[in-house]
Structure 1
Amino acid sequence: MSDYRRNGKRKRSREPRDRYLPVPRQLRENLLSIADSPLAVPAQQAQEIAKLLSDNFDDVQIKNEFFDLLVRLVLEQPLKIPFAAAVILYGNDSNPEITTEALQRAGERLQEAFNAGHWRDVKLLVRFLACLQRLFEGEGVIPLLDKLFDCAIDLQEANENDVVGLELVKIILLTLPYAMGYAENSIVPQALEILKKTEIVASMKLPIEDLLESYTGSTDEKPVHYLSLIRLLQGQMRNEEARGWAFAILPPFPKYISQQVDGQDAMVTAPALHPFPSLDIASPVNAGPNPLFPEAYFSLYADQEVETVPKTDDIAASLIRDTIVDTINILDFNRDAVATLLVNLDCYWHSETFIKRGMPFEKIRLGEIEGSKSTWKPEDMVLDGIFSQVFTLPNPERKIVYYHSVITETCKKAPGAVAPSLGRAIRFLFRNLDVMDLELVSRFLDWFAHHLSNFDYRWKWQEWVEDLVRSDLHPKKAFIIAAIDKEIRLSFGKRIKKTIEEEFRYLITEGKEKEVPDFKYADDRTPYAAEGALLQSQIRKKAPDAEIQETLNVIHAKASEAGVDDVLIPSTDAFVTCICYIGSVSFSHLISIVDRCKERLLAIGQESEAARRQIIASIVAYWKDQPGNAINIIDKLLNYTILTPISVIQWALADHLGAGEALSESWTYEMVAKTVAKVTNRVRQIVAARLQEGLTQEQIDSIDETLIKEREGMRSYFKFIDDAANVVALGINDAFIEKETNGELSAEDAAVIKAWGKRWQVVFRRKAQVEETVVGEQAVDARVRLLPVQMETDPKVESQNGNGAMDGVTVEELE
């Protein structure tokens, strides 16, 4: 009856859908989706794509579109490089011109990338060529690797602190496994010769590496020692030699797949061989648009009792990590696609590389697994890779919040598999807070609060209840306090109080639950209460400046009678407190009031440096229960030049320092770090302007003069911070000595405060050293000498925004 309508008439049958896809679309979809499914056989997929391409190779449009896509796939999805190469391998059997075209396209793009100093593109293209090793005449990729090494040595001889040479050696060491794994004939002798040479560079340690360690403190306290990526790769390749150069994780591709012709097996012929693309290495080498630093290998799961990721002495650790990190950093414009690729990580390696997805950790620990030779969890490997970027020193490639979003997306796509691994990562990080680099603690704090905000602020706080008895100065107790403050910043106090355990609720005081802090001048017992209340009314009602000044003069007179040395201090306190109170409705409301009062605020700073610092003190005092708001306001006043960087730094590390307790407050670190980032970004913008082409001599002189002034100012700020931290680290500041003498500081707290001083020193000495390598005289002069090379390749000159992201700048914007 379903064939008839209600009126008794027969339904018209539907025409079958035409499922035929045009050839270009078939090639595109098949290539982009290769190896994405755990049920697929990548070798067969590659053969089918190769056959379809071969059958339509005479179509110029199809050919151009396919090879454009192939190169883009190599550069955008590193996990699929071996599969892209497999298409060419099988295509070569039926039509050698496919290989010729692929090599020409890859060679041209490789030359462009090398000339521009785009080292990741160089690495990925060379890897693609290495996967085609069996198709080359002679030694294939080996001569190119030798040439890259010679270039690295030249760079090292010219400058022993050169990092571009290290980058070239890294490319060599990450290419060899693919070349050896996919070679037709053994290239072991050539590989051993290369490894013998790279040992020289890999054994070197640059001075800045001492400042790039993820964990500080004594050697015994560190959960993981510093692992230079170059030295690690060198050792891993030597270990692979002992395993017989197996490279067992690489996806296998049979040399030949049986093909049928008229029902009979076709005769198998030897593949056509091709010359390796040439690469011209210009001198001097373009270092690229972004500053390079030595890389360290960071892991949360490696070398532990239960092996859920490759050991650090296994080349698999570096090969898999490298593809994960590149995938994340390349596809930053599409975190959903990144998460999809990461969740499918096990599809892109040998089928026995990983254990089944979502395998419970306890089952692995107890050995209750069947049918798997591996204990490596793909979820652990993915999270290890993402966190390695969150905790990259000195700066990750992308904004840190981007990595937050990748973790969130990965959790959403595979919550059952990822969440338990994430919990283990959090516990590992919290357990080692005492010895973790302070900047990394800050990043962990930001991510932790942000992550909880995406999942209803749920966390097993009960696990940390034992740390509540510690002093507020202890790193773990300080982290708990800061994490709750961050959550309140992202939500509000009353809601967060409901999400945490009873034992933690005392940390959310009554003041933290208030959305609008109390106005201190509403209390008649407060000095200048009457004037403060009147001033608040005048500002709110937009009274004339003369009336406001009259009220301030009354405060000045009373302060003078009370023996106050600088009468601007109490009047500034009243004025700024009133602004904060009126503007507490919203940040935009506050900014509108600051705009109205900007001239008076500027005049305060010009008249008295102490009064300028009082602006900061008053803002922090008003928002003492929600310091995040104070930081945002101070940041905005820096933009308005109402405050100066040195005034913020001096207030935080002199007026507010105390015996050193301030160094344990996360918001104090955040305030100083943000201020320093503004300064360094300004200097980088000036350098970027200097490196633009077509400048007149007058412009060059003007920029150079500004650069010298701003650079010296930056150095003075770093020196002030270092001196202040050093005094605390040595325990020789007056407040520390006084409290220690009076017994107000226990021996344990005194030791903790000194440790905070050392941690601050490490962070800001590193930041200072990083800036010297980017904007110091030698660095800038070297870039200026390379201007002709840069003009030819036309890369964008960039400046750092303090969070790893880079923004272009022009002379006009600078002026």
Structure 2
Amino acid sequence: MILYADPEDDDYSGINRDFRPRVQKRQRLPPVVELCRQMMPDICTIGESISAFEEDIKFLGEAIVSEFNNEEYFRNALLSTLYAVVVEQPQKQQCVALLIISINARDSVVGKSIINFFYGKLQEWCDLTCDEENLKITSNETGPWNKIKLILRLLALLSPILIEDDLVSLFKNFLDISIQLNNEFSEEERCPLSEAIYYNTLINVPYLFFFKGTSHSSLYTKIQELLDSVSQNYKIKPKYFSLLDEYNRSAPYERVELIEHILIAVKKSIANDFAELNFLFVDYNHLLPDQPADVGFNDPLRLPSINDMKPYSAMDKGLGSIDSVWKTPRYDFKVYLMNPVGNFNTVPDSNSYGGLLLNDITVDIVESLEFNRKQVAKQVVTLDLFFRQGFFSERGQSIAQLIDIQEENPTISTYKVEDLAVQNILSLIFKLPTQSQSFAYFYTLLVEICDNSPKYIAPVFGRAFRFFYNNLENLDVELKLRYLDWFSIQMSNFNFSWKWNEWEAVSMRYGGVSFYNSKINFIKNLIRKELRLTSNKADVEESLTEEFLKYVDTSFVPFEILKSYYASFFNGFEINQEELKPSLFYFLNYTFPFTNEVQEVIDYLHKSSEERNLAELKGIFKKIEENHGSIITDINRFTVSLLTQAIVYSGSRSLSHANKYINEYKNDFIELLSMIEVDTHLKQMWIVEATLRYWNNNSQTGFLVCDMFKNTGIIDPLIIARFLFSDYEKGKTLGLVETTCLEAVFRLLNSLSLMKTPRLDIFEFVFERLSGIINETLPQLGITAEEEVPHPNLDSNDDDDNDDDDDENNTMFDESEIPRFDLIWRYEAASDLIKSLLRRYSDEYTLLLDKLKLYNDNNMTNVPTRRKIGTWLDEMKKL
């Protein structure tokens, strides 16, 4: 009970009254709660302080043994905390295992209770793997098989105190079921669940030898026999999907499918008397206490039957963020390739056990702890604390420092924990076909990591920026957009500071003459995106060099096109280009002879529903036609465009404001449109065009407003698709290169894919239109039906890592070739977008598969292109 001062108490006196606010007295917590508050955080941070680790193990072990059987509250808190560390921070598992071993040495009953708890959790997750209802509930976690992997790893670490045969049997059972499940499918048919179990089990094998590893033990002999059996009986079915390629032509590195390398890497790691593991793992053997008799499991583990598992074998039924990645083949992902100067790597090779394990642990931390971004940012860059000193280089060392150090001592490690962390987070951002979490989480996580150590992390980001930029021409379309988003978010958090002079050579070469060059379009789109991310345009402009200031213009179409658009409405009326400013309602300009009537339209839109009468609006347009029809080229087009821009202008204050006006005047607009005897699609195209011309300086807003017209039923989604892939000049299709257009394409198709009955005609139109662009482009290149489209023959100056800018190399470049290059880039932009859309919307396009195949076979004129698209169509139905 909480007591307050009583005014009628004898001790209470008005003279001595304390006028300070009265507060509740702090309630004393029960001793067990106070103990948990002190101990549980220590368990969560176990191993983070190397100097205090031995003392922590001793203190925590004694306290746990003392309290474990006294208080249920303590016991529950302890077990849930240990479990959370095991599945959320797997890099600390060896520390948890050592603590359990220490507890077991002090009190084997307590030790066995903790082991049984984890064994019970293992059984719970095994039972859950085929429980569809509960899988839906836990789908926001990493997945049951990932949890099984992590608990199995802990049990492997407890090999010094577990009955050897029980432990070996556990591994054998998981590997046997992966083999049986794999054999249920044909030699050509990949089984994702089998691969997940196979990989997850094998990656834990070396942990059996973490403590007291010796190649002369019976455990080693049994594991070698098990691995030999697996090698003979598990048939790896590598399945290459070109739709999943991050790069469309020449990739900067050879892709490795993880399933092909895990067994080889595990065998190598335990060979040569564990030489590789001894370099990777910390030696805690001096902390191992003498043990009582080995602990056994109470009951055999019950695994689901093959028949029960088969419906879940595709890994597509409500599984978590990590389990679901096995649905498609898992490949390695590289950003930090071998340093060409020092000839060394800054991340472990993904073919090695250390590389596979560290990637696995990093991804587990990022995915398991997503609810605590700050903790993730801390843990992923301190992984080196939990591996042998010397495996990683000193934290924060630059590449230049590593080059110097490595020259002095070639045997010293050059692995950077910062590179490892950033590369694995980027692998999740760039994952195809879909990412596991929202992009916002990954982007803000990288911002958090950089904010924690900007001096060390900023150069790591800079190298990643350059890597993707140098490979932009081959990067998948969808990944180009993700790269742009990440770069722009990081730039805004770096106060827009970037060494733009690094890219000046490309800009000076292609900036004024190429429409489709990937690097030029990336630069343009990046600057425009930065301008949208800030209200202070000067922040961005001040960061740019003189060369890039020309890209500050955010116009969707060039000024001359905009001028031509407005001029096309009139005969004998001169457009005053001085008054043609972005985001101004040009028809309201005082130079127009009918400004008053336009103002009347605006006034009408500001009236309440009770005051409005459609006849009044019709009368205004009738007056315009009667008084000024002689200078208007097409009164129907003018009426639709003027009313569209009047609504857009009235709602220009914000998107919610725009939505209000569009919804409020929907019926009037539709009725007025119905009275204009012109093709419906043409009228709707005028609406989209009028909206985008009004928002010429901010096309993102323009497309979002078009979405509102679509959502209210004023325009058909097909019209937006047609507009996106129309040319504003011959051969210039903004839908292939401009970010807000590409985002609008994906946004449109996303909305259609969520419909109960998807508009397949629009998906079909996009495929056919992109195929048409390819067919339009090929004859201009002079490519025969049998020829491969060549890659642009760019000289070495296009490699931005090459700082040599001598005149001799510059003279090698033939500027007359740029128009031809641009045609090739147009071809690639269209075909690459087909690839991205088939992958992303495989469900919808699979419903159209027969039609698309027939269209491709009958209409694609170039045989290699026809064959390539045909391969994508075949792969699409298997995703």
Q: CA deviation at 1:182?
A: 4.2
The one of 460, 463, 475 equivalent to 1:421 is 460
**Partners in 2 of 1:253 and 1:349 — Cα distance?**
9
Correspondence 1:538-687 to 2 at 5 A: 538-540=604-606, 544-552=613-621, 569-601=637-669, 608-654=680-726, 659=731, 661-662=733-734, 663-680=736-753, 682=754
Cα pair distance change 1:188/1:637, threshold 3 Å: farther
Paired position in structure 1 for 2:69: 58
Paired position in structure 1 for 2:583: 517
Paired position in structure 1 for 2:329: 294
Cα pair distance change 1:318/1:744, threshold 3 Å: closer
Correspondence 1:358-397 to 2 at 5 A: 358-367=396-405, 373-397=412-436
Provide the aligned length of Structure 1 versus Structure 2: 711
**Partners in 1 of 2:361 and 2:180 — Cα distance?**
28
Moved more, 381-390 or 108-117: 108-117
8 Å CA contact retained: 2:582, 2:697: no
8 Å CA contact retained: 1:309, 1:381: yes
Q: CA deviation at 1:271?
A: 5.0
Compute the TM-score of the two structures, normalised by the length of structure 2: 0.74
8 Å CA contact retained: 1:408, 1:454: yes
- In the alignment, residue 769 of structure 1 is paired with which amino acid? S
Cα pair distance change 1:172/1:269, threshold 3 Å: closer
**Partners in 2 of 1:515 and 1:183 — Cα distance?**
76
Paired position in structure 1 for 2:378: 340
**Partners in 2 of 1:774 and 1:155 — Cα distance?**
29
Q: CA deviation at 1:281?
A: 1.4
Cα pair distance change 1:502/1:92, threshold 3 Å: same
Moved more, 330-339 or 359-368: 359-368
Paired position in structure 1 for 2:766: 721
**Partners in 1 of 2:234 and 2:473 — Cα distance?**
33
Cα pair distance change 1:494/1:735, threshold 3 Å: farther
**Partners in 2 of 1:556 and 1:231 — Cα distance?**
73
**Residue 252 (structure 1) aligned with residue 301 (structure 2):** no
Paired position in structure 2 for 1:313: 351
**Partners in 1 of 2:199 and 2:75 — Cα distance?**
33
Paired position in structure 1 for 2:517: 474
Paired position in structure 1 for 2:532: 489
8 Å CA contact retained: 2:640, 2:686: yes
Q: CA deviation at 1:250?
A: 4.8
Paired position in structure 1 for 2:148: 122
The one of 739, 745, 751 equivalent to 2:824 is 751
**Partners in 2 of 1:413 and 1:313 — Cα distance?**
31
After superposition, the CA RMSD in angstroms is: 3.6
- In the alignment, residue 501 of structure 1 is paired with which amino acid? T
- In the alignment, residue 252 of structure 1 is paired with which amino acid? V
5+ unaligned residues in a row in structure 2: which ranges? Answer: 1-28, 130-143, 560-579, 783-815, 850-879
Moved more, 597-606 or 611-620: 597-606
Paired position in structure 2 for 1:144: 170
Cα pair distance change 1:58/1:679, threshold 3 Å: same
8 Å CA contact retained: 1:250, 1:350: yes
Paired position in structure 2 for 1:693: none
**Partners in 1 of 2:606 and 2:507 — Cα distance?**
43
Cα pair distance change 1:187/1:729, threshold 3 Å: farther
Q: CA deviation at 1:630?
A: 1.8
- In the alignment, residue 356 of structure 1 is paired with which amino acid? E
Q: Provide the secondary structure at the position in 1 that maps to 2:287.
A: coil
Moved more, 156-165 or 573-582: 156-165
Cα pair distance change 1:165/1:475, threshold 3 Å: same
Q: Provide the secondary structure at the position in 1 that maps to 2:397.
A: coil
Moved more, 584-593 or 430-439: 584-593
8 Å CA contact retained: 1:228, 1:294: yes
Paired position in structure 2 for 1:435: 474
Cα pair distance change 1:670/1:528, threshold 3 Å: farther
**Residue 190 (structure 1) aligned with residue 223 (structure 2):** yes
Q: Provide the secondary structure at the position in 2 that maps to 1:746.
A: helix
Q: CA deviation at 1:724?
A: 2.1
Compute the TM-score of the two structures, normalised by the length of structure 1: 0.79
Q: Provide the secondary structure at the position in 1 that maps to 2:388.
A: coil
Cα pair distance change 1:353/1:744, threshold 3 Å: closer
**Partners in 2 of 1:548 and 1:558 — Cα distance?**
16
Cα pair distance change 1:491/1:269, threshold 3 Å: closer
Correspondence 1:5-154 to 2 at 5 A: 22-37=34-49, 39-40=50-51, 42-61=53-72, 62-117=74-129, 118-154=144-180
8 Å CA contact retained: 1:379, 1:418: yes
Q: CA deviation at 1:486?
A: 0.5
Cα pair distance change 1:746/1:249, threshold 3 Å: same
Q: Provide the secondary structure at the position in 2 that maps to 1:396.
A: coil
Q: CA deviation at 1:382?
A: 1.0
Moved more, 472-481 or 59-68: 59-68
Paired position in structure 2 for 1:203: 236
**Partners in 2 of 1:558 and 1:732 — Cα distance?**
47
Question: Over residues 113-156 of structure 1, what are the superposed CA-to-partner deviations in whole Å (9 max), with x where a residue is unaligned?
Answer: 23333222222222222222232223344433333334334444
- In the alignment, residue 284 of structure 1 is paired with which amino acid? D
Question: Over residues 473-513 of structure 1, what are the superposed CA-to-partner deviations in whole Å (9 max), with x where a residue is unaligned?
Answer: 10000000000111111114444222211211111128699
Question: Over residues 44-79 of structure 1, what are the superposed CA-to-partner deviations in whole Å (9 max), with x where a residue is unaligned?
Answer: 533432222122232142222211211122122222
Moved more, 49-58 or 503-512: 503-512
- In the alignment, residue 206 of structure 1 is paired with which amino acid? K
Q: Provide the secondary structure at the position in 1 that maps to 2:329.
A: coil
Q: Provide the secondary structure at the position in 2 that maps to 1:133.
A: coil
Bigger radius of gyration: 2
8 Å CA contact retained: 2:541, 2:552: yes
Question: Over residues 754-807 of structure 1, what are the superposed CA-to-partner deviations in whole Å (9 max), with x where a residue is unaligned?
Answer: 01112101101111336689999xxxxxxxxxxxxxxxxxxxxxxxxxxxxxxx
Question: Over residues 84-123 of structure 1, what are the superposed CA-to-partner deviations in whole Å (9 max), with x where a residue is unaligned?
Answer: 2221122221222233222322222223323333222222
Q: CA deviation at 1:168?
A: 1.6
- In the alignment, residue 194 of structure 1 is paired with which amino acid? L
Q: Provide the secondary structure at the position in 2 that maps to 1:215.
A: coil
Q: Provide the secondary structure at the position in 2 that maps to 1:444.
A: helix
Cα pair distance change 1:141/1:557, threshold 3 Å: farther
8 Å CA contact retained: 1:214, 1:226: no
8 Å CA contact retained: 2:763, 2:845: no
Paired position in structure 2 for 1:782: none
Q: CA deviation at 1:295?
A: 2.0
Question: Over residues 392-435 of structure 1, what are the superposed CA-to-partner deviations in whole Å (9 max), with x where a residue is unaligned?
Answer: 11111110111110111111111111111111111111111111
**Partners in 2 of 1:520 and 1:79 — Cα distance?**
62
- In the alignment, residue 465 of structure 1 is paired with which amino acid? E
**Partners in 2 of 1:343 and 1:591 — Cα distance?**
45
The one of 197, 204, 227 equivalent to 1:175 is 204
8 Å CA contact retained: 1:88, 1:98: no
